[in-house]
Amino acid sequence: MKSMIVGSATSTSTSTATSTLTSTATSKSTSTATSNTQTTPKHGTPLKQSTTPQQSTTPQQRTTLKQSAPFKQNTQPKHGTTPQQSTTPKQRTSKLIAVSLVLALLLSGCTNQSAQDESNAEQANSSSTAENQNQTNNQKPADSKDTKTVNGAKESAAANYLENQLKEYDNALYVFKDFDDGANYYTQKAWAGSNNINIPAMHEDVQGYKGVSGIACELDLNNHSWGGYMFVNGILRKGETVPVIDFGENDARLDLSGATTLTFYAKGELGNEYVDFFIGGLGADFDKGYFAPYLDSDRRSINDVALTKEWQRYEIPLENADMSEIACGFGWSANRKGNPDNQKVRFYLDEIRYEFKADTKSAPAEADRIVSSQAPMFLQSYASADLSSDDSVINNFAYLYDQSITAMALSYAGKHERARQIADAIVYAQNHDRYYTDGRLRNAYAAGNPKSFPGWFSNREEEFARLPGFYDIEDGMWYEDAYSISAGATGNYAWAILALCEVYDNAPNRSDYLTAAKRLADYILTLKGANDGFLGGYDGWEGSEVPATYLSTEHNTDLITAFGRLYKLTGEQKYASAQLSAKKFVLSMYDVKEGCFYTGTMADGVTPNKEVVPLDCQTWTIMALGDEFADAEKVLNYVEKNMALDNGYDFNTDKDGVWFEGTAQAALAYLTLGDEAQYKKILDALNKSSGRDGSITAADRDGVSTGFMVSGSDMPWNYGKRTHIGATAWLAFAQLGVNPLAY
């Protein structure tokens, strides 16, 4: 007989469900009815109960981000040379209080296991924040080597870093990594206790064992003889924007077959707090003799765990457990009987994750698709910022441009399986948009596996690709950024095409990559300008988009290569004609007298925009046009005069800091012209500025300006000293000596 949990809820006007059940279990650990549920906000929908946000779903009730202090980093991807996209983030409050649906669920049939403590040798991690967030102490000695030859092929330290970011998710599934993290599953949390008076909150803004946050849990034993929380998936019905808890009436279970253990870190506030931890068990009420249609397939626990004041690692062994259908990913409970000397139990949790067998090929397809090295995956664009910073609002953002060039860098480095993970995520996103069916992509997605949670459905009653956002506890809402979820900037599409074509070249049996690239290109063909070139795309929320009527030099430069690659692969004349049109527009933006390319046109699609002259408009045209452009040296003279600094190049002409992504592009522009001495000089400076792990920050300091404004605001769009996979991918291109715009 399977041991399950079931609960009942009575909905209220605020979507808060309340109920209390009485436990009949006999042991100390099972005398605790455990569970609590969090709603996940969608599109700026008011969230009165939840604080663990997740990805957006349905296109209703969209809200733009609110005005706040300026970002220190770029809040939009590379493309979009005119400031027409959305919004500014509302500042987070310091407290992120986890209060959610109130439920009572009955625990029974617990299996005792012993807690597995780990040595305190890892204790130093307890004060760490996001890895590589600031690389001041992560820089290598001047004589370090970042590119070497292995078996006759070049190897890049930057490409190795990108590969390692993907490896972090191999054979692991997170229940909690960091607040707002795109890798988190089981994001809804349900309270259950002896009563519903003075329900304790969980806070996710506290310092954890690792990363930028952990979870603070508390139970006042004067108010509750027992109580706890359960981490579950919940369900999101068609047309809804807020998920609700489900007790097995609908299938919200995840197939975790192959999981060997659930591991987590915990510590007590004072030490000697006794807590039970468990997984599974949702779906049955043995007192009432009720069994839901969709029961959890098993339950495992470790009971009477005596916490210490120091972080310890614990394990719930899952040997011989049936993990094929699990709706409750984690839970904890405490009670008065087990803590006779404590009036209050307060403790902390972090890094809650399932670990799987290294070989998942024998596991069911669903588990393999989630946790194996073949699973589709988007990487977080920027290292996580501290939650007290406005920059944290983009912690779970995976910008399409960054994903595309990362896939290309991995492919060029011979890491084809890893490149396919990102390409597979792009294909999945195209085929599972929550709204569009015409092949469009979004400017950004939620980091992690793109697939929506079990039981979560779009308006078409289908699974969907998750989109990014952030939760603001002050006004209880989940926010999306109109630019990030726009579908989307033409240049971003061009880089996605290049990534798909590159991966296809190394996996010719995967015709879906080429099919996806063609769908995207055919959509771009509908954006043809009145004369030559292609428009910027569309901005805004789905269903109320507005056309971006400017033409971007950068976008069209990307399209020269994208259409060129497609023409070579397919032989279809429409792509050759489109390439010629993009090329003519780019050349029309060249100022022969000044020796520079302008950023593009104003909104009228005709008048050149001369307000800002970006570096990439110079370097990319050289890389894309090659021998067809005779004035390349003159353009680089302009770059040296107006953008060069001691250890790199600025984004624009104000010389207020080094933009490392653009500096790598400059190195490759010189290599394109055959100037290996200057290429090596720039590359050496980049290598000295990179981290010991191979990564590099977006800029050498905070506040490096682009000259543009954050779209829809009066805030400057700046880059900062924050590890960035986009900059790291370009460093990989430079280390490998590869021109990604060659066709």
Could you please report the per-residue DSSP string of 320-331?
A: T---SSBSEEEE
Rounded to whole angstroms, the Cα distance separating 75 from 40 reads 23
pLDDT at residue number 581 = 98
Place of tokens 């984690």: 330
| Backbone angles phi and psi of 578, in degrees to 5 | -65, -40
Give the 3-state DSSP-derived string for 529-551, with helices as H, strands as E and coil as C: CCCCCEEEEEECCCCCCEEEEEE
At 335 the three-state DSSP class reads: strand
pLDDT of amino acid 367: 52
Q: How far apart are the first and last CA of the chain?
A: 62
Q: What is the pLDDT of residues 642-673, one digit of tens each?
A: 999 999 999 999 999 999 999 999 999 999 99
Beta carbons within 10 angstroms of residue 674's beta carbon: 7
Output the pLDDT for position 205: 86
The C-alpha atoms of residue 330 and residue 315 are separated, in whole angstroms, by 12
Question: How far is Cα 307 from Cα 264, in angstroms, rounded to an integer?
Answer: 13
Contact 625, 560 (CB under 8 A): yes
pLDDT score at 243? 86
Residues of the chain short of pLDDT 50, as ranges, are 1-145, 149-153, 360-365
Sequential DSSP letters for 418-440: HHHHHHHHHHHHHHT-SS--SS-
- What's the predicted TM-score (pTM) here? 0.83
Q: Alpha-carbon distance 82 to 612, whole Å? A: 10
* pLDDT value at residue 637: 98
With H, G, I as helix, E, B as strand and everything else as coil, classify residue 575.
helix
DSSP run (H or E) holding 562? helix 553-570
Backbone CA torsion sign across 187, 188, 194, 196: positive
* pLDDT at 28 (0 to 100): 28
Compute the half-sphere exposure of residue 95: CA atoms within 13 Å on the CB side of its CA. Answer: 7
Give the number of C-alpha atoms closer than 13 A to the C-alpha of residue 413, restricted to the C-beta side. 31
> CA 88, CA 480: separation in Å to the nearest integer?
10
